Chain A
Amino acid sequence: MRILTLRDLEMAGARGTAALYPSQTKIMVGMATCGLASGAQEVYDALLNEVSRQGVDAVIRQVGCIGWCCKEPLVDVLSPGKPRITYGEITAKRVPKIVEALAQGEIVKEWAIGRLDGDENLIEGTKRSYLADDAQVQVMNQVPLYKEIDLFKDQVRIVMRNCGIIDPRSIDEYIARGGYLALYKALNEMSPEEVIEEITRSGLRGRGGAGFPTGLKWKFTRQSKGDTKYIICNADEGDPGAYMDRSVLEGDPHTVIEGMIIGAYAIGASEGYIYVRAEYPLAIEMLTIAIQQAEEYGLLGQNILGSGMDFQIKLSMGAGAFVCGEETALMASIEGRAGEPRPRPPFPAQSGLWGQPTNINNVETWANVPVIVARGGDWYARIGTETSKGTKVFSLVGKITNNSLIEVPMGITLRQIIYGAGGGIADGREFKAVQTGGPSGGCIPAELIDLPVDYEQLTQAGSIMGSGGMIVLDDRTCMVDLAKYFFTFLKGESCGKCIPCRLGINRMQKILTDITEGRGKEGDIELLEQLAVTVKGASLCGLGQTAPNPVLTTIRYFRDEFEAHIKEKRCPAGVCRELIEYSIDAEKCTGCGRCVRVCPQEAIVGEKKKPHVLDPALCIKCGACYEVCKFGAVVLS
């Protein structure tokens, strides 16, 4: 059944609303990849069983990323008239108690971590309260409201607006929350030029990393001459440490699709591709379903919403190559070739897929489009800084207490992110630096913690915004090892076409390997800097051009660590295997023997309840003993 009129959309929306807010209790389980990896399937199955066994009148739904990644598996309960309660770290064993409580109109307070009294429909600018009768919710009021919780206080969820709220497999639920209203508005009330104008006014910049003004890119592509124009969504999220695109695709695929259709209208494109990396099978599944649903509703295909516009989207799969995140390599891959970039100009806007004008944007960029078209560019531009408008989704991971995705306005400081949302450094350790922008970025040291996060500020500090990965490092992270890690990664991912990248990165990686293994020599730092100039300046594509960034920032801010490795053959953080030694502190060792059991080399000996001894000659430095010791008796020197 095709959607042609506003009335049709409203009817689908009504169905969605009924599903979102049913008359009985709705239990939601976060079942994106993180949830599933933490055991959400077992929890979901247990819930189905228990609800049936206890004869409770409740429906159980699957939702995407609820946003509290470190507390997975997450189970949310929404009873009519009551606040939505989030339960964290739920196992199948805990399910019966939750269902029992629910049957009695109560909650299990010790597992309840958050409460929502209502939600917001960002597209229509309306709010909905969940509450009917205040008196009944006293116990629930003891559960902290999301907006009072550090992790969520500063967040503004535009891109993630539907994640964790809708079932990503339900187009009706997407429509219930204002979905496809922006498309309707664009096709019926705006000209393509007006759409581009709105995007330009919003100040939206490419969220994939380069930060190129989106409106400008659309304008160039619209102005280019070609028989067929293409739209591409770059879902090849290859930066290690970044998973925001995956979460959007798994939790709310239609926001990307709607964004692309609006973009196709603005640019005059008739075909679109979503290039998804092979490592994201669930995202591929969600997109396949969503595209099919959109086609069934006539929102994709011919004569969309009766406007005469034709547009179809195909899925194209990556096959395990980081370089295919680079736009010309990505297009080569869609064309069925090896992912070798080519020189630009010509830019894809002039000559892209099969030589035709092509507009490529990242997942997060597309996800912003419906909201901007619905609420207006000026509304969007009020968020963020002078040069960097809107919000950014960051993956805050590493040595931080709250490992999670966060969506915050541009301009928020690193301090607010790390000590606010992040909850500070994990295990009470010391904050050392944060790596941003993945292998193309750099590290920002602790002394720059008050840096506001936007495109220009990060670039000036020597790093880049990149796709939004923020890897927090503590005093136990070796910055030299990290620089080597990035070069090892890039060496394996370089397509090998151009000399500076293929041969230059190889040499830089070798030098860093020598340094981390105790073979560093005087002049190594200078040689790295010298090579960096050529690799940065002369490489064909962005991979090579940004490859030296991590090592350049670590030399800039942590030169002393380099010098310790080179001159003293010492690793201050205790990481580089050739430069450290494991031993047992006799004063702390209780002789429990756990380490002996896990040692693959039988390098630890000792009598029960007496301090044990580690033989460094046999030790292969696997770290298993360090991992299991509960007394901190295994030390690194």
Chain B
Amino acid sequence: MITLTIDDQKVVAEEGMTILEAAREHGIYIPTLCYHEALKPYGACRLCIVEFADERRGARLVSSCSFPAQDGAVIRTNSPLVLEARRMIIELLLADCPDVKAVRELADELGVEKSQFEPEGEGNDCILCGLCVRACQEIVGVSAISLINRGIEKKVKPPFEIASSVCIGCGTCVFVCPTGAITLEDIGRPRLAHEWHSEFQARPCRVCGDHYLVPESVSDYQELLAEEEPS
């Protein structure tokens, strides 16, 4: 077990935990957007930054979702340095994604009324947190979508921006998305994944008659179950 100090509070944590995990276990709140406990830390949104008193380099900002909890470390989750950076990040995000509820809520929490930057382009709902891509890769295991391009052109798409041949229409990406940017629409039989340009033909439930079971997902689950069976 190791002991670190977060906001003047002594926190005992297990070896191998990150600062965020240690903080959460002790009810200390640190905002996040691209973090999910079922997925490997990504470190993209930078909202979870905290101030770390580094012996060699002085006080610096580190992403608590990835930085290991170290014995004797002194961490501040709300110092002026942290808040200034968090507010600027939210302002930048607000200008990029003005209609996203999750961003608006975080902005309110941080006391940011509006962004000093002019909004760019059309209302964009994707904050590029990568949760959908990572869930599809790490949990579902089909890697149907990925982050393409570079810099401000970056976006999430299936290959060649056409329907993916490996997507199973499971909706995990919809589930993890913090902004509602991904939609799966069931219109009777067809299930449409708009952002991924895909269409699935769902099968009806034998009991209630509703169409919601997508054959591609079913095959995938069957394969997984077969693998788990003792050979």
Direct contact of A and B (CB under 8 A): yes
Which positions in A face B, CB cutoff 8 Å?
321, 338, 340, 342-343, 345-346, 491-500, 502-504, 506-507, 527, 530-531, 533-534, 537-540
> Shortest beta-carbon distance, A24 to chain B, in Å?
55
Q: Is the CB of B44 within 8 A of A499?
A: yes
Partner of B84, one of A491, A527, A533: A533
Q: Which residues from chain A contact B46 at a C-beta distance below 8 Å?
A: 498-500, 538-540
* Contact present for B60 and A496 (CB under 8 Å): no
Of residues B43, B49, B116, B150, which shows the largest number of chain A Cβ atoms within 10 Å of its Cβ? Answer: B150
In B76-106, the 8 Å CB interface with A consists of 81, 84-85, 88-89, 92-93, 95-96
| Chain B nearest CB, measured from A559 CB (Å) | 22
Who on chain B is nearest to A504 by CB?
B92
CB-CB under 8 A from B89, the residues of chain A are 499-500, 534, 538
B222 to chain A, nearest CB (A): 30
Contacts of B49 in A (CB 8 A): 537-538
Question: What's the nearest-Cβ distance from chain B to residue A184, in Å?
Answer: 37
Closest residue on chain B to residue A540 by CB atoms? B43
Give the docked Cα–Cα distance between A321 and B117 (Å): 29
Closest to B149 in A: A496
B66 touches A503 (CB 8 A): no
Given A498-B45, A498-B46, A504-B92, are A338 and B128 also a contact pair (CB < 8 Å)? Answer: no
Complex Cα gap A415–B161 (Å): 56
**Contacts beyond the supplied A507-B92, A507-B117, A534-B88: 14 A-B pairs with Cβ under 8 Å:** A346-B68, A497-B42, A497-B147, A498-B44, A499-B44, A504-B92, A533-B85, A533-B88, A534-B84, A534-B85, A537-B49, A538-B85, A538-B88, A540-B63
Return the CB mask of B190-211 against A: 1 if under 8 Å, else 0: 0000000000000000000000
* Nearest CB on A from B197, distance (A): 21
Q: Quick check: A502 and B85 within 8 Å, CB to CB?
A: no
**Known contacts A502-B154, A540-B63; is-contact A497 B85 (Cβ 8 Å):** no
B81 & A343 in contact (Cβ 8 Å cutoff):
no
Query: Do the beta carbons of A338 and B85 come within 8 Å of each other?
Result: no
User: Given A494-B151, A502-B152, A540-B63 in contact, is the A342-B84 Cβ separation under 8 Å?
Assistant: no
The 8 A CB mask of B112-135 against A (1 = contact, 0 = none) is 000011000000000010100000
Residues of chain B with a CB closer than 8 A to A343's CB: 41, 43, 62-63, 66-67
The yes or no answer to B153 lying at the interface (CB within 8 A) is: yes
Assess the A499–B150 pair: CB atoms within 8 A. Answer: no
Counting residue pairs across A and B whose Cβ atoms lie within 8 Å, the total is 99
With A and B bound together, what is the CA distance between A326 and B206 in angstroms? Answer: 55
Chain A residue at smallest Cβ distance from B41: A343
Among A502, A530, A533, A537, the residue within 8 A (CB) of B151 is A502
Which among A492, A499, A531 has the highest number of chain B CB atoms within 10 Å? A499
Known: A503-B93, A537-B60. A342 touches B150 (CB 8 A): no
Chain B residue numbers with a CB within 8 Å of A499 are 44-46, 89, 92-93
Contact status of A493 and B152, CB under 8 A, knowing A498-B45, A507-B117: no
User: Given A342-B43, A500-B92, A503-B96, are A537 and B85 also a contact pair (CB < 8 Å)?
Assistant: yes
11 pairs across A/B with beta carbons < 8 Å?
A343-B62, A492-B151, A496-B150, A496-B151, A497-B147, A498-B44, A506-B151, A506-B152, A507-B117, A537-B81, A538-B61
Report A-chain residues with C-beta under 8 Å of the C-beta of B68: 345-346
B92 close to A496 (CB less than 8 A): no
Most buried by B among A500, A527, A539: A500
| 0 or 1 for each of B133-174: is its CB under 8 Å from A? (1 = yes) | 000000000000001011111100000000000000000000
Q: In angstroms, how far is the closest chain A Cβ from the Cβ of B187? A: 34
Minimum Cβ distance to chain A for residue B145 (Å):
14
- From DSSP, what is the main secondary structure of chain B's interface residues? mixed
Q: How does the 8 Å CB contact mask read for B24-60 relative to A, with 1 for contact and 0 for none?
A: 0000000000000000011111100100000000001
Kindly list chain A residues whose C-beta atoms are within 8 Å of the C-beta of B117: 507
Query: B61 to chain A: which residues have CB within 8 Å?
Result: 537-538
User: How many Å from the CB of B128 to the closest CB on chain A?
Assistant: 7
Query: What is the CA–CA distance of A100 and B176 in the complex, to the nearest angstrom?
Result: 79
Central interface residue in B46, B66, B149, by most chain A CB within 10 Å:
B46
Most buried by B among A495, A497, A498: A497
Whether A503 contacts B85 in the complex (CB less than 8 A), given A343-B63, A345-B67, comes out as: no
Q: 6 tightest CB-CB pairs across the interface, nearest first? A: A496-B154, A534-B88, A343-B66, A343-B43, A503-B92, A538-B85
> Could you tell me if B88 and A497 are in contact, using CB atoms closer than 8 angstroms?
no
Q: How far is the CA of A491 from the CA of B128 in the complex (A)?
A: 17
For the complex, count residues of B whose C-beta is within 8 A of A. Answer: 34
In the complex, the answer to whether A338 meets B43 with C-beta atoms within 8 Å is: no
Q: Which of B44, B62, B92, B153 contacts A497 (CB 8 A)?
A: B44
**Nearest-Cβ distance from residue A146 to partner chain B, whole angstroms:** 42
- Distance in Å: Cβ of A505 to nearest Cβ of chain B: 8
Q: How far is the CB of B58 from chain A (nearest CB, A)?
A: 12
Contacting residues, chain A, for B81 (C-beta < 8 A): 537
Q: Distance (Å) between the CB of A298 and the closest chain B CB?
A: 42
Residue pair A321, B63 in contact (C-beta under 8 Å):
no
B43 closest partner in A (C-beta): A343
User: Cα distance A345–B73 when bound, in Å?
Assistant: 14
* Shortest CB distance B165–A (Å): 20
Q: How far is the CB of B83 from chain A (nearest CB, A)?
A: 11
Which residues from B are CB-within-8-Å of A338?
147, 150
Chain A nearest CB, measured from B179 CB (Å)? 14
CB pair A495–B63 under 8 Å, yes or no, is: no
Q: How far is the CA of A492 from the CA of B150 in the complex (A)?
A: 8
Q: Which residues of A contact B147 (CB under 8 A)?
A: 338, 340, 496-497
* Nearest B residue to A523, CB-CB: B116
CB neighbours of A506 from chain B (8 A): 151-152
Per the bound structure, the CA–CA distance linking A492 and B95 in Å amounts to 20
Once bound together, how far apart are the Cα atoms of A338 and B116, in whole Å?
33
| Bound CA span A503–B97, Å | 11
A607 to B: closest C-beta gap in Å: 51
Kindly report which residue of chain B lies nearest to residue A341, judged by CB atoms: B43
Chain B residues contacting A530 (CB-CB under 8 Å) are 88
- When A343-B41, A345-B67, A498-B43 are in contact, do A493 and B151 touch as well, CB less than 8 Å? yes
**Nearest B residue to A541 by beta-carbon distance?**
B43
A493: chain B residues at CB < 8 Å are 150-151
Q: Is A531 in contact with B88, judged by CB distance below 8 angstroms?
A: yes
Report chain B residues within 8 Å CB of A340: 147
Give complex CA distance A162, B153 in Å. 45
Q: How far is the CA of A478 from the CA of B95 in the complex (A)?
A: 30
Cα–Cα distance between A530 and B84 once the two chains are bound (Å): 9
Which has the most chain B C-beta neighbours within 10 Å: A338, A343, A493? A343
Residues of B contacting A345 in the complex (Cβ-Cβ under 8 angstroms)? 66-68
Closest residue of chain B to A337 (Cβ to Cβ) is B146
Distance in angstroms between the alpha carbons of A500 and B61 in the assembled complex:
13
Q: With the chains together, A148 CA to B87 CA distance in Å?
A: 59
B92 contact set on A, CB distance < 8 A: 499-500, 503-504, 507
How many Å lie between the Cα of A498 and that of B89 in the bound state? 10
What residues on A are CB-neighbors of B84 within 8 Å? 533-534
Known A-B contacts A533-B85, A534-B88, A538-B61; the reply to A491 vs B151 at CB < 8 A is: yes
**Contacts of A527 on B, CB cut-off 8 Å?**
116
A496 touches B152 (CB 8 A): yes
Note all chain B residues with C-beta closer than 8 A to A496.
128, 147, 149-154
Tell me the complex Cα distance, A492–B96, Å: 18
Which residues of A are found within 8 Å of B96, using beta-carbon distances? 503
Q: Shortest Cβ distance from A601 into chain B, in angstroms?
A: 33
B140 to A: closest C-beta gap in Å: 19
Nearest chain B CB to A213 CB, angstrom units:
11
Report Cα–Cα, A578/B62, bound state, in Å.
41
Contact check, A540 vs B88: say whether CB atoms are below 8 A apart: no
Of the listed residues B42, B96, B151, the one surrounded by the most CB atoms of chain A closer than 10 A to its CB is B151
